[in-house]
Amino acid sequence: MHGSAQVIPFRPRQALQGKVTSTADGQARLARALASLDTALAEQQAAMDSFRLALGDLDRAVSGLEAGLVRYGDELSCLNHDIDRLGIEARALEAWADEAIARGR
């Protein structure tokens, strides 16, 4: 609450004994207490609104990271397929070269 709330303490029972408090004084204290409560609730609502916005930002960021990781996984899968294909071609060329060397002897 950033120290903006005003705490209105109740008087101890001993202080009230023998003293008559006016209804107006009680109503004024109650009005101040309610005003402080309204202020605190407004601050709480603003904090919750900010929190919800932050959660929305976090959700979008996580979704973006997830999409990036899926894309990265797909690219790695394609790369793995390409490497497997190149391995097959390399073994075929090696076999051809071995055969050519064997014929030349």
Q: Is residue 85 included in any domain, yes or no?
A: yes
Q: Is residue 19 included in any domain, yes or no?
A: yes
- pLDDT per residue of the chain (105 residues) written in tens, 0 to 9: 466 777 777 776 665 554 555 788 888 999 999 999 999 999 999 999 999 999 999 999 999 999 999 999 999 999 999 999 999 999 999 999 999 999 987
Dihedral sign, Cα of residue 28, residue 32, residue 34, residue 38:
positive
Q: How far apart are the first and last CA of the chain?
A: 91
Query: Which range marks the domain in which residue 97 is found?
Result: 13-104
Q: Is residue 1 included in any domain, yes or no?
A: no
Please tell me the distance from the alpha carbon of residue 34 to that of residue 40, in angstroms, as a whole number.
10
Q: What domain count does the chain have?
A: 1
Q: Is residue 8 included in any domain, yes or no?
A: no
Please tell me the distance from the alpha carbon of residue 16 to that of residue 14, in angstroms, as a whole number.
5
29 CB-near residues (< 8 Å, 6+ apart): 8
Instruction: Report residue 93 as tokens.
Output: 């060329």
